[in-house]
Structure 1
Amino acid sequence: MDIKFYIGSNCGLCDDAKIQLDFFRDEYDHEIKIVTINIEEDDTLHKKYMLRVPVVEYNGVVLQEGNVDFVTLIEAYDELK
């Protein structure tokens, strides 16, 4: 399974969210690949997520954005399974 992780440069919330994603990944026995995407490298993504980063997305559904915590990620992910 792939999680898309949209970030911006010099983003403290993004740094915190990365730690939460590591906790999230550790909760599951199956492999979870986190694909980190810097929105500043794509104008379309920058316009879409500029005020929302960090954004965690799975199968086109935003699991969480802004202040990310692993408990909410787990709940949102489990609802989609």
Structure 2
Amino acid sequence: MQPVLTLYTTWGCHLCEQAEQLLLNLGLAGQFQLVDIVDDEAAFARYRVAIPVLRQGDNELYWPFDESQLATWLKDVK
């Protein structure tokens, strides 16, 4: 199954690590991909001061968010 969620992150970002852990806590292992904004020029231009950002299609969830907010957002975008 292809990951449907993208988590924009970068190396050494402790907030990004927290966001990834929230996804794992909700049982979403294998359903998201990590994109390091340093490796993607367009993502860097768009998200460099906003990471972590979770994206599904055209829907984006910007940090800060907690597990409850993430779960609600996921229900809304499906």
> TM-score, normalised to structure 2's length?
0.83
- How far apart in 2 are the matches of 1:58 and 1:32? 14
Q: CA deviation at 1:73?
A: 1.1
Structure 2 unaligned regions, length at least 5? none
Please give the residue correspondences for 1:8-27 in structure 2 after superposition, counting only pairs within 5 Å: 8-25=10-27
Q: CA deviation at 1:32?
A: 5.7
Task: Indicate how the Cα distance of structure 1 residues 8 and 16 shifts in structure 2: closer, same or farther if over 3 A, else same.
Answer: same
Structure 1 match to 2:54: 56
Q: CA deviation at 1:79?
A: 1.6
Residue type matched to 2:17 in 1?
D
The alignment of Structure 1 onto Structure 2 pairs a total of residues equal to: 76
RMSD over aligned Cα atoms: 1.8
Structure 1 unaligned regions, length at least 5? none
